[in-house]
């Protein structure tokens, strides 16, 4: 019986994702005219194994309307892609999609449920009940 060698992941999608996250953050902060985009924090970028798709997860400051931030990102997407393309990071430009990061919402909801249940926590998340 012939043994099949499995390719070990090289970590390239992860490295490319981290580089893209840094570049996108700089573009949002310094090159986009819309002030709402300066209030966005990019939490993670997930690249497909073939580097053709990038899911960009973000959170907006609490005082901003999330729908307005999503609209601003959608409007600026062409400009953002053009800026990334200008930096020649990719042989083929990935399709970039901006997605609100659900992780912080889950954490806030969990904290709310714990408060309702009467469990006291400090800022480090340690239980004091």
For residue 58, what are its two tokens?
């973000």
- Number of folded domains in the chain? 1
Q: Give the structural domain span for 92.
A: 12-101
For residue 109, what are its two tokens?
């909801």
In a domain, 3, yes or no: no
- The per-residue pLDDT for range 51-106, each reduced to its tens digit, is 999 999 999 887 788 889 999 999 999 999 999 999 888 888 999 999 998 876 67
Q: Which whole number is the average pLDDT over 17-45?
A: 94
pLDDT at residue 82, rounded to an integer: 94
Other beta carbons less than 10 A from residue 113's beta carbon: 10
In a domain, 1, yes or no: no
pLDDT at residue 65, rounded to an integer: 86
pLDDT at residue 54, rounded to an integer: 96
For residue 125, what are its two tokens?
């998340």
In a domain, 62, yes or no: yes
In a domain, 107, yes or no: no
In a domain, 117, yes or no: no
CATH number of the domain encompassing residue 83: 3.30.300.20
pLDDT at residue 8, rounded to an integer: 43
In a domain, 113, yes or no: no
Give every strand in the sheet of 53-60, ordered side by side: 40-47, 53-60, 95-100
In a domain, 29, yes or no: yes
In a domain, 26, yes or no: yes
| Residue closest to 56 by CA, chosen among 106, 64, 69 | 69
């Amino acid at each position: 019986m012939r043994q099949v060698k499995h390719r070990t992941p090289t970590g390239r999608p992860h490295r490319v994702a981290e580089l893209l996250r840094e570049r996108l953050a700089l573009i949002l902060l310094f090159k986009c005219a819309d002030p709402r985009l300066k209030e966005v924090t990019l939490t993670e970028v997930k690249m497909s194994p073939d580097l053709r798709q990038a899911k960009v997860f973000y959170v907006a400051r609490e005082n901003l309307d999330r729908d307005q931030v999503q609209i601003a990102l959608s409007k600026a997407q062409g400009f953002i892609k053009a800026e990334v393309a200008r930096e020649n990071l990719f042989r083929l430009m990935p399709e970039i999609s901006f997605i609100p990061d659900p992780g912080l919402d889950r954490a806030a909801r969990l904290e709310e449920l714990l408060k309702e249940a009467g469990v006291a926590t400090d800022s480090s998340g340690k239980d004091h009940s």
